[in-house]
Amino acid sequence: MDTWYAAHCGAARRYSARSLHTPQTALLMHHLTILTGASRGMGLAMAQQLLQADALLLCISRQTNSDLTEQAQRAGATLLQWPQDLNDGATAAAQLGTWLQALDPRTLASATLINNAGVIPALVPLSESAPADLAQALRVGLEAPMQLTAAFLGATRSWAVPRKVLNISSGLGRRAMASQAAYCAAKAGMDHFTRCVALDEALLANGAKVCSLAPGVIDTDMQLQLRSSDATRFPDQGSFAGLHAQGQLTSPADAARRVLAYLAREDFGKDAVGDVRG
């Protein structure tokens, strides 16, 4: 266990103790959210919108974001940012499980995991794809979300608070596209493992509500990558360029609002696979 991680596990224990023993904070029940890919794009916008005074937000991505730290301080929210490559989801999941076990669930009003981090590998036919590139897209987009979901559900299973898992999927998990085999496969896998987990959790007394949600088309680095790609290798490049040219991309802030509104719905989890567009 490295020094940095040990310090953050210590922070979880200190957080629990402080919440129980300080009169002011003991009254404030915190909403715990674990959010991957919050350093930029829609994940950053979700983090910004989640930073209320009653938030306990743990963000996981390779980069941390100093603006988020400042915003959390202004809002009086508790924010932790773990710099972690989700190419190694097993390490992230082990650390998450240990960290969750150090929390006192009596200080929490809810617990939510949002698997948002994703990556589009080189936009070329599968026959031209590099093995390492394919592995990374599947590890970050599918393996790590499964491992983090397993760690979250396992560590929180006895908690009495409402528990939710929101997996950020894509229309491309449901619709095939040339030169996108790994991304499409990761999102299709995400949809289907979420269906399976919904069945697992339905058997439990306080089973988690789970959903794999397509967030719409969002103006982020990912869209830039799609429309900047080589049209001779990626036949749909022009349609992504057109969406941008016609102003049809949702801003990260609007997309985040729609996703978080979906997460807050009374019937969240009724459908294991959903789309913010209805």
Ligand X SMILES: NC(=O)c1ccc[n+]([C@@H]2O[C@H](COP(=O)([O-])OP(=O)(O)OC[C@H]3O[C@@H](n4cnc5c(N)ncnc54)[C@H](OP(=O)(O)O)[C@@H]3O)[C@@H](O)[C@H]2O)c1
Chain residues that interact with ligand X, rule: CB under 6 A: 37-43, 61-63, 85-87, 116-119, 140, 168, 170, 215, 217-218, 220-223
User: For residues 250 and 258, what is the distance between their CA atoms, to the nearest angstrom?
Assistant: 10
**Nearest approach, Cβ of residue 16 and ligand X (Å):** 26
| Nearest residue (CB) to ligand X, 100 versus 137 | 137
Query: Minimum distance from CB of 189 to ligand X (Å)?
Result: 13
| d(C-alpha 148, C-alpha 138), whole Å | 14
Of 86, 109, 97, nearest to 36 (Cα)? 86
DSSP H or E run through 205: none
The least distance separating ligand X from the CB of residue 53, rounded to whole angstroms, comes to: 24
Cβ–Cβ < 8 Å for 33, 52: no
Q: Which is nearer to ligand X, 61 or 107 (CB)?
A: 61
Q: 57: closest CA among 111, 106, 122?
A: 111
**Shorter beta-carbon distance to ligand X: residue 16 or 129:** 129
Q: Which residues 6+ apart lie within 8 Å of 221 measured at CB? A: 40, 41
Q: Helix (H, G, I), strand (E, B), or coil: what is residue 51?
A: coil
Closer to ligand X at the Cβ: 108 or 222? 222
Residue nearer to ligand X on the CB measure, 191 or 201: 191
Q: How far is the CB of 63 from ligand X (least distance, A)?
A: 3
Q: How far is the CB of 17 from ligand X (least distance, A)?
A: 30
The residue of the chain with the least Cβ separation from ligand X equals 41
